[in-house]
């Protein structure tokens, strides 16, 4: 339960920061937050699935995994939108 809450919080922060830095790309702040939360959950699942390193290894690792996944999905969505 703690991990899911941390993924949601990290996704919200990354989505919000992306909205500020890119001046509301995608579907505005709400769209960025939803995409970022999805990316956080997906990256956490992916790391656990392939056992790249312990997905449950602690607060810092979980936040880093979530932030990277959220940023990657937001970047992918932005690239697809601009294409």
How confident is the model at residue 51, as a pLDDT? 76
Residue 42: per-residue pLDDT: 92
- pLDDT tens readout for residues 36-55: 899 999 998 888 888 776 55
3-state helix, strand, coil in the chain (%, to 5): 80, 0, 20
Packing angle, helices 28-50 and 2-21, rounded to 10: 130
Q: For 8-34, how does the pLDDT look when each residue is reduced to its tens digit (9 = 90+)?
A: 999 999 888 888 887 755 568 888 888
Q: Is the pTM of this model over 0.85?
A: no
């Amino acid at each position: 339960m703690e991990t899911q809450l941390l993924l949601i919080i990290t996704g919200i922060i990354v989505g919000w920061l992306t909205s500020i830095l890119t001046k509301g790309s995608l579907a505005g702040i709400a769209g960025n937050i939803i995409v970022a939360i999805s990316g956080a959950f997906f990256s956490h699942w992916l790391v656990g699935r392939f056992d790249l390193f312990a997905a449950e290894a602690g607060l810092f690792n979980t936040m880093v995994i979530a932030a990277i996944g959220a940023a990657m999905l937001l970047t992918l969505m932005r690239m697809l939108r601009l294409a």
